[in-house]
Amino acid sequence: MTHNGISRYSMEIATALLTGGIGLAICYGAWQVGTGWTPSGPDSGYFPFWIGVLVVAGSVVNLLRTIVGHRHKDEIFLDAARLKSLARFVLPILGFAVISLLLGLYVGTTLYVLFAMRLQGHYAWWKSLASGVAISVCFYLLFELVFQVPLLKGPLEHAFGIY
Amino acid sequence: MNNLSLLMDGFATILTWNHLLIMVIGVMLGMLVGVLPGLGAPNGVSLLLPLTFTMDPVSAIILLSCMYWGALFGGSTTSILFNIPGEPSSVATTFDGYPMARNGEATRALTLAFMSAGLGALAGVVMITLLASSVAQFGLKFSSPEYFAVYFLAFCSFIGMSSSAPSKTLVSMMLGLAFATVGMDSVSGGLRLTFDIPDLVKGISFLVAVMGLFGIAELMVTTEEGLSFNGIKSRIRVRDILRTMAELPRYWASLVRSILIGIWMGITPAGPTAASFMSHGIAKRFSRHPERFGKGEPNGIVSPEAADHSAGTSALLPMLALGVPGSATAAVMMGGLMIWGLTPGPMLFITRPDFVWGLVASMYLGNVVAVILVLSTVPLYASILRVPFAIIGPVIVAVIFTGVYQVANSTFDFWLLLFFALLGYLFKKLDYPVAPLVLTMVLGHRAEEAFRQSMVMSDGSVTVFWSNSLVSTIMGLGVLMLVWPLFSRMLGLRGWRRRLHRQKPQASKPATPDSRP
């Protein structure tokens, strides 16, 4: 954290560590199932193991390029204003995912559109609510009736007898 | 001549009202995703793919490929009217397209772009018609080592041709391969890399990855930049369209040159983005009035558009004939083929000629339909961009969530989606290329299978990849691609990449150089 936001330098390092970590997990998972040679050819873990090694190797190079080369030291990854607008966008999405798990996608969509419009666009309650309901109804007509692919439903739909 | 009769059979397959309707729907949906921020061709095709599971493959591929053409045209529209490239490959169109539209000649700019794009696409399809059978014949000579060599070549050319750091491209590509191996091992039937999470047994779908990487992540970048679209109002007049069409023959030299560049870059894995930049650059260098470029020079619109679309269509040749997609969208379509139970590659030409030639025929017709539709509906689509992002953004997110659920009716995929969104956001902001991750995720199974079969054939010796002239040539080309950045730096060919980087900050709609459509 610099005084005016998150620096790109620290994010480069964090991302290299993240990909490197995933690479290590791949190697470990591959090693669990066996990375050697079996009578029927290479074991299931052989290919993923070396892929994991390459991920780790690439991540190490990225890390060293950043640290040793002092790259992107003065660049800003995200400043406070942008962080705020990003949070306004991302937090409702997280809520959307959780609510959809509990109450189904239709209720989730309605509430998500309602709050996202309130939060990002400062629309009036009734406008946001109407948009949310309208979009849910459109989804229902499109997916359940036209394409006949059921979406995730929750207790509310069950109470109304919609399956 | 044989190809021609096969093509006629293809036309016979697709010329039904049903298929024509599907074509129109595909193009319209494609233009919609091409115009909307955060939704590009790969994402649109991924969203539509689950809905095609029950369709017959010919209708399904017509729908998806027409969506691709529509998205390419939609991308050019926003480039010209809003100075926002809808697709990375239409960045070069903004150089001269937007200035011309600002000078009050929006209709002329749009018509020039669409007509040359349509001609480029048609030239690409003609090339596919002529060459497809011979390339597929050639492909029949391939066995496992050759196939692995072809994948190796594709992977190497990503590293060689990418504008990102080679180590970043490597990480992105290898992560894709690794994600593809999660779940059931198709050879031994055992589970791997599931880390005792039951939801991972079914594997990680590339569709979820595309929707996170290209969809949510792109929206995150878009929101952060704060969107304000200052579009040019355009009224399309038929008289202006006709007058522009009459002036088109004047640019024949640029057209022919750009089409050749596009076809070459499309077949080789350089892709449409590189083709359009190179074509614009060469047009400027060869022009008698290079000072007019950047101020609305017609040749500066014709060249990148013709090259972009001829490369876009040509990229389907290696996908169909060899099973190696040339772009992220082609990769998603290829994933679709496999889900419908078809195996892309030379055998497809023998087992399902109706499918292959139906697709080729639909490319002729689809592009004509697209040019007509796009010219008649531009004002409508341009008005969509004027709807506030606070309304469009949440709707797109909700559509993506429903799309992710439809992939496998699994709620675990919501979390995977968020993971890929985070990864995509970091990658986009830190100049990691995203397209290679998707490509390798689709190709992963086939690449691994080819590798393992080769190893079985040779009893574990890697010399099998240098065992005959064919496989050594392909492997050699791959190695050449790996060291290509060094060569091109010596020859000073990296100009278009620098320009791509310079262009990027002005584009409010993020166009990462390597997320090829």
pLDDT-derived band at B230, boundaries 50, 70, 90: low
Other CB atoms closer than 10 Å to residue A97's CB: what's the count? 18
Looking at residue A141, the DSSP 8-state letter turns out to be I
The pLDDT tens digits of the residues spanning B132-151 come to 888 888 888 888 999 999 89
Q: Does B174 touch chain A (CB under 8 A)?
A: yes
User: B384 near B32, Cβ under 8 Å?
Assistant: yes
Q: Does B461 touch chain A (CB under 8 A)?
A: no
Instruction: With a cut of 80, say whether residue B97 has pLDDT above it.
Output: yes
- Residue B485 sits at the vertex; the CA angle it makes with B481 and B486, to the nearest 5 degrees, is 110
> According to the model, what pLDDT value does residue B502 have?
54
> What distance in Å separates residue A139's CA from the closest CA in chain B?
8
Looking at residue B506, the DSSP 8-state letter turns out to be G
The pLDDT tens digits of the residues spanning A124-156 come to 999 999 999 999 999 999 888 888 888 898 888
**Mean pLDDT score, A107-111:** 95
Half-sphere exposure of B278 (CA within 13 A, CB side): 22
pLDDT-derived band at B425, boundaries 50, 70, 90: very high
Instruction: With a cut of 70, say whether residue B361 has pLDDT above it.
Output: yes
> According to the model, what pLDDT value does residue B422 have?
96
Start-to-end Cα distance in chain A: 50
pLDDT averaged over every residue in chain A: 90
Q: CB neighbours of A60 closer than 8 A, spacing ≥ 6?
A: A16, A20
Highest mean pLDDT among B241-245, B412-416, B512-516: B412-416
Is B153 or B509 the better-scoring residue by pLDDT? B153
Residues in chain B within 8 Å Cβ distance of A140: none
> What distance in Å separates residue B411's CA from the closest CA in chain A?
7
Taking CA–CA distances from B221, the nearest residue in chain A reads A86
CA–CA separation, B514 and B517 (whole Å)? 9
Please give the ipTM for the structure prediction: 0.95
The pLDDT tens digits of the residues spanning B294-304 come to 888 999 999 99
Subunit contact A120:B394, Cβ cutoff 8 A: yes
CA–CA separation, B5 and B123 (whole Å)? 19
Residues in chain B within 8 Å Cβ distance of A85: 223-224, 226
User: A104 in helix, strand or coil?
Assistant: strand
Subunit contact A116:B195, Cβ cutoff 8 A: no
Residues in chain B within 8 Å Cβ distance of A88: 223
Subunit contact B393:A116, Cβ cutoff 8 A: yes
Is B508 or B105 the better-scoring residue by pLDDT? B105
> According to the model, what pLDDT value does residue B270 have?
67
Least Cα distance to B124 among B371, B367, B357, B347 occurs for: B367
CA–CA separation, B87 and B79 (whole Å)? 9
User: B271 near B265, Cβ under 8 Å?
Assistant: yes
Determine the residue type at A95.
G
Taking CA–CA distances from B189, the nearest residue in chain A reads A44
**Closest partner CB to A45 (pick from B192, B397, B406):** B192
Residues in chain B within 8 Å Cβ distance of A51: 174, 177-178, 181
pLDDT-derived band at B511, boundaries 50, 70, 90: very low
Residues in chain A within 8 Å Cβ distance of B432: 15
Least Cα distance to B420 among B49, B42, B30, B35 occurs for: B42
Length, in residues, of chain B:
517
**Mean pLDDT score, B225-245:** 75
Least Cα distance to B188 among A140, A42, A162, A11 occurs for: A42
**Closest partner CB to B223 (pick from A12, A26, A89):** A89
Subunit contact B390:A116, Cβ cutoff 8 A: yes
CA–CA separation, B338 and B439 (whole Å)? 14
Chain A to chain B Cβ contacts (< 8 Å): 174
User: B500 near B163, Cβ under 8 Å?
Assistant: yes
Residues in chain B within 8 Å Cβ distance of A44: 185, 187-188, 190, 192
Q: CB neighbours of A39 closer than 8 A, spacing ≥ 6?
A: none
> According to the model, what pLDDT value does residue B512 have?
37
Q: Does A44 touch chain B (CB under 8 A)?
A: yes
Subunit contact A12:B430, Cβ cutoff 8 A: yes
Structure tokens at A119: 């939060």
Which of A75-79, B224-228, B428-432, B449-453 bottoms out in mean pLDDT, i.e. has the lowest?
B224-228
Is B311 or B418 the better-scoring residue by pLDDT? B418
Distances (CA, A) of B458 to A45, A73, A121, B188, B455: 19, 49, 63, 19, 5
> According to the model, what pLDDT value does residue B515 have?
37
> According to the model, what pLDDT value does residue B228 have?
60
Which residue is it, tokens 């496989």?
Answer: B471
- Residue B485 sits at the vertex; the CA angle it makes with B483 and B489, to the nearest 5 degrees, is 125
CA–CA separation, B312 and B272 (whole Å)? 6
pLDDT-derived band at B513, boundaries 50, 70, 90: very low
Instruction: With a cut of 70, say whether residue B121 has pLDDT above it.
Output: yes
**Mean pLDDT score, B332-346:** 90
Question: How much is the CA Rg of chain B, to the nearest whole Å?
Answer: 22
Q: Does A56 touch chain B (CB under 8 A)?
A: no
Chain centroid offset of residue B296 CA: 27
pLDDT averaged over every residue in chain B: 86
User: B388 in helix, strand or coil?
Assistant: coil
**HEC sequence for B24-81:** HHHHHHHHHHHHCCCCCHHHHHHHHHHHHCCCCHHHHHHHHHHHHHHHHHHHHHHHHH
pLDDT-derived band at B419, boundaries 50, 70, 90: very high
CA–CA separation, B400 and B388 (whole Å)? 19
Percent of chain B predicted with pLDDT > 70: 92
Q: Does B179 touch chain A (CB under 8 A)?
A: no
The pLDDT tens digits of the residues spanning B44-71 come to 999 999 888 888 899 999 999 999 999 8
Q: CB neighbours of B491 closer than 8 A, spacing ≥ 6?
A: none
Instruction: With a cut of 70, say whether residue B494 has pLDDT above it.
Output: no
> According to the model, what pLDDT value does residue B59 have?
93
